[in-house]
Structure 1
Amino acid sequence: MNKIHVLEHIKFALEAKLSEAKQAADSALQDATHEQSAAETQYDSLSIESGYLAHGQSERVNEIHKSIVLFEQSYDLNQARYIIVGSLIKAVDLADKVHWFYFGPCEGGLKVTIQQHGILIITKDSPIGQAMYEKALGDECEYKVGSELYNYEIREIL
């Protein structure tokens, strides 16, 4: 797996997410300020609801901007001995199935696909992130979500 390609795909995914958020924010703002959104009675709350939606969408845009900056700061092509923010991780489960993870500063749960391999972004806030953080090559990590127990062996840290 080429870490540079992974980083490019993550950046592209974040930019696509930002574009969608901007479109949603613009649409919500237009709805909130449209003349048909004006309250006709004291019980008509469409304009208020549209305003709240527009504010929420603009906050979403700001959060994605922050995520892009944090990812740019976390990009490190140096190979680490331990899993840290910026690590690309190849792990194998008990069934010998290969899993790829990118330890990001945020945006946990975002997935990108490269060469038919899914790469899941994990963070230190997640159960898997807590289990993998600062693990070394060959270490095993185990975590539980609900009643499910997950086990991985760290095979590569890029």
Structure 2
Amino acid sequence: MDKLLLQYQVLERLAEDLLQAEQAMRAAHETATHEENIAENKYDTLGLEAAYLATGQARRAEGIRQAIAHWRQFRARPYDASKGIELGALICLIDSDDKQHQFFLGLDGGSMKLFSGAQAVQVISSEAPLGRAMLGKCEGDEVSIQIAAIRQQFEVLWVH
């Protein structure tokens, strides 16, 4: 599986998300500033609510722009067993039910599921609980995370 191809897919998906956020921001801004939505009394809050929504969408769009910039600069290095799993690693974990899960350990803002052929690859941040738990691990190591009262355990099957 090509990590560079996965990175391009992340960038494509982020670009789509940015387009949607910008469209939502424009629509909310138009609603907020439309002459029919000028408040006539203190209970008429449609324009105000739309302005809040436009501000939130603008923040979301800016966050996506920053994620795109970071992903464009990101260069995944080859796996080095002496360092263990690092940012940019492609990892296959096996759970207690012998089900395999493939992950691409990436930057913030890229949490998504991608496909390489028929194979699903979950992109996760190193800041996510599972991402943090995988850092520094090597093939054959155990990875465990606690989610509420449930402890999930995995074994690192392979790393690229």
CA drift of 1:150 comes to: 1.6
TM-score by length of 1: 0.90
Q: Could you tell me how far apart the structure 1 residues matched to 2:159 and 2:80 are?
A: 7
Equivalent position of 1:128 in the other structure: 130
- Answer yes or no: is the 8 Å Cα contact 1:74–1:85 preserved in 2: no
Query: Which 5+ residue runs of structure 1 have no aligned equivalent?
Result: none
Residue aligned with 1:42, SS: coil
Q: How does 1:44-55 map to 2 (within 5 A)?
A: 44-55=44-55
Q: How does 1:97-112 map to 2 (within 5 A)?
A: 97-107=99-109, 109-112=111-114
- Answer yes or no: is the 8 Å Cα contact 2:14–2:110 preserved in 1: no
- Answer yes or no: is the 8 Å Cα contact 2:76–2:88 preserved in 1: yes
What's the CA shift string for 1:27-64, capped at 9, x where partnerless?
A: 11111111111111232121111111101100000000
- % identity of equivalent residues: 31
Q: Please tell me the root mean square deviation across aligned C-alpha atoms, in Å.
A: 1.7
TM-score by length of 2: 0.89
Q: Could you tell me how far apart the structure 1 residues matched to 2:99 and 2:57 are?
A: 39
Equivalent position of 1:62 in the other structure: 62
- Answer yes or no: is the 8 Å Cα contact 2:89–2:105 preserved in 1: yes
Q: What is the number of residues matched between the two proteins?
A: 158
Query: Which 5+ residue runs of structure 2 have no aligned equivalent?
Result: none
Equivalent position of 1:11 in the other structure: 11
Q: Could you tell me how far apart the structure 2 residues matched to 1:39 and 1:116 are?
A: 53
* Letter matched to residue 150 of structure 2: E
Equivalent position of 1:23 in the other structure: 23
